[in-house]
Amino acid sequence: MTRSVYGPIKDFYLRNPLEGAVQEMLYLVISSIGLGGISPVKSLPSGTSCLVSNNLGELNKDKEVVACCQKEDLSASSWNSYLLETIPYEFQGEDSKSVSSRMNKMWIAVSATVVALLAIASLSPLNKFYHNLALPQLSLHGGVLADLLVTNGTIYTSNVTLPFADAMAIRNGRIFRIGNYSSMQDLAGFSTKTLNLEGKVVVPGFIDSHVHLLFGGLQMAQVQLRGVDTREHFVNKVKEALSNMRHGSWLLGGGWNNDLWGGELPMASWIDDISPYNPVWLTRMDGHMGFANSMALKIAGISNSTEDPDGGAVMRNGSGEPTGLLIDSATKLVLSCIPEVSIEERREALLRASNHALTRGVTTVVDFGRYYPGASTELSWEDLSDVYRWADLSGNMKIRVCLFFPMETWERLYELINEAGRKLSQWIYLGGMKSFADGSLGSNSALFYEPYVDEVQNYGLQVADLDDLYNMTVSSDKSGLQVAVHAIGDRSNDLILDMYKIVASKNGIRDRRFRIEHAQHMAPGTVARFGEQEVIASVQPDHLLYDADSAIKKLGMERAQRGSYLFKSLLAGNAQLALGSDWPVVDINPLGSIRTAMKRVPPGWEKAWISSECISLNDALNAYTISAAHACFLDEDVGSLSVGKMADFVVLSTDSWDNFAVEGSASVEATYVGGLQAYSRKPKEHM
Ligand SMILES: [Zn+2]
């Protein structure tokens, strides 16, 4: 039997299945009506064209699917777009005869290799490299079968047309059917796996709407000062880390929060005597302030005579000497002296970060990269080519990423999207442009209408030139790019909303989904503007745990109380909420964050901070799934458990939805990405 209809290639990736042994392998996942498969090809010789086939010899003679590709340099970035643009459509609609004749002209079939590799694949311990090699499945009578049936659970879908289901069928990494188990029994075949949820709750894979993924991964390997609550503990941690270091190398770390030990800011003198041989740089948890020891200050050339750069400040003592603390763009003075992290370190950071995210049920992140005021705009681009593309080609992507780039570089993103599309693969999406309006509350650099109560001359920092920001926003938006601007203080939120309004009226109506990142403090009346202007509020509930005390201290009770973290009011004003963590500012942990959005009880508090702004479990879950997907234009692929979307989902520890909805407490049992188990609290099962 031959089939005459060939569908588009759904996905492809190169991976290195056996470090060093088999160098490269190409999988093409081809789907069509009633037909699907994956074909591995071993070691493509350089500069040749190749043919990929899932002709599995005698086994599946009737299911031959072919595709061809010109092999270019395996490391070339053009590989992705070449495959995506050339292959998917080349054989569409052709019958098998013409495909076969072209096949003969071009190259040899590789069925023998395929069979050999599949034989190898069945052997342990290589098995793990192949566990996700889902072969096409057809029932005896030719009907389609599921690869995986998920049954016997409470499946919350984030899809309003069918909020709950008890079973779902997965095929080729996507949801094929969802509903009652009885409606999908016909999809079970000999090789269909079953995941019996035993009553557990399943939710869509979480989308963290604001992370700095590589920073998170890098920070996991540095001095971790998160949660440190005394000066002594702080100094001891630094001392311990220094004991393993070579003289002269930089000690890096971060996550400290001076509010936890009463507010006193660290000074170089705290650690100078324990760090005579090493420069030290430790960033505050919000990333807007960093702390250097004297050796680092010396290397950076920072002294009494150093002037404050635009958009930043060098903190000084009474006699004008730098204390070691640098704020916002002043951090650049030290950062520019720190040796670049190597490509290897960044790749390891991605793997560490992705694995950590999976343990928390996160299957997609919106990554704002290593860009912040004062940092080079190149970093995000280097990470795309050195880290993300590498991970994609080598089969090391484990979660999906939507990447945002510095707004200054909008033309580059515009060109890249024109060339390659927004979706570089099933793992990497090109998001949009990011810029900053102000700093952070913790560093007294968020921009307010009224001054900080604890610093009466200070209204915060406007970190961008408004004209520049406006011009870049107009151009980005006109080019069809999504724009996200960081705004924390009430004044900066209004400035950005004003700007968005002008840009929208200048460029005309379109589905632009402007975002404000953080949208933390609002003046009276501002909250309604998000809904009216259809601006997405990308907010991070867990920040309120650490900000509650300091907001009251810095803004005064009345201002803090009326305008901070207004989640419920935003929803009531028809704004779309996208929840996230801003990891590594706080840990990546959607379930914790959902609970925070529901309960708003900071550590050491007995009741909620601004209880009127608590939101329901459903609202919080939606903001971590479907709204988050909508907020970054990924709602066609992810965000809900709906037919056709990626089978990304999380199995929770709880088996009571009602209890979950009241308490907001649950933990992650297992995380599935594209229908495959990517994390399990229990030892991983081969699928
Ligand atoms: Zn951020």
Q: How far is the CA of 520 from the centre of ligand 1 (A)?
A: 12
Q: How far is the CA of 128 from the centre of ligand 1 (A)?
A: 35
Q: Which pLDDT does position 144 carry in this prediction? A: 87
Q: How far is the CA of 523 from the centre of ligand 1 (A)?
A: 22
Q: How far is the CA of 295 from the centre of ligand 1 (A)?
A: 29
Q: How far is the CA of 317 from the centre of ligand 1 (A)?
A: 29
| pLDDT tens profile 185-232 | 999 999 999 999 999 999 999 999 999 999 999 988 789 898 899 999
Q: How far is the CA of 580 from the centre of ligand 1 (A)?
A: 10
Least confident of 35-39, 158-162, 292-296, 483-487: 35-39
Q: How far is the CA of 550 from the centre of ligand 1 (A)?
A: 19
pTM reported for the whole predicted model: 0.73
Least confident of 41-50, 331-340, 467-476, 490-499: 41-50
Q: How far is the CA of 518 from the centre of ligand 1 (A)?
A: 8
Q: How far is the CA of 210 from the centre of ligand 1 (A)?
A: 6
Q: How far is the CA of 432 from the centre of ligand 1 (A)?
A: 15
Residue 402 neighbours by CB distance under 10 Å: 26
Q: How far is the CA of 209 from the centre of ligand 1 (A)?
A: 10
Q: How far is the CA of 402 from the centre of ligand 1 (A)?
A: 14
CA 129 vs CA 39, 122, 347: distances in Å? 14, 10, 20
Q: How far is the CA of 414 from the centre of ligand 1 (A)?
A: 22
Containing 417, the helix (H) or strand (E) segment is helix 410-420
Residues 6 or more apart whose Cβ sits within 8 Å of residue 189: 137, 139, 145, 146
Q: How far is the CA of 675 from the centre of ligand 1 (A)?
A: 30
Percent of the chain topping pLDDT 90: 70
* pLDDT bucket at 67, cuts 50 / 70 / 90: very low
Q: How far is the CA of 623 from the centre of ligand 1 (A)?
A: 17
Q: How far is the CA of 7 from the centre of ligand 1 (A)?
A: 40
Q: Nearest-CA neighbor of 59 among 5, 115, 131?
A: 115
The DSSP line for 137-199 is -B-TTS-B--SEEEESSEEE-S-TTS-EESEEEEETTEEEEEE-GGGGGGG--TT-EEEE-TT
Residue 378 neighbours by CB distance under 10 Å: 12
Q: How far is the CA of 357 from the centre of ligand 1 (A)?
A: 16
The token pair that represents 5 in the structure block: 């209809």
Sign of CA dihedral 181, 183, 186, 191: negative
| pLDDT tens profile 93-103 | 333 334 344 43
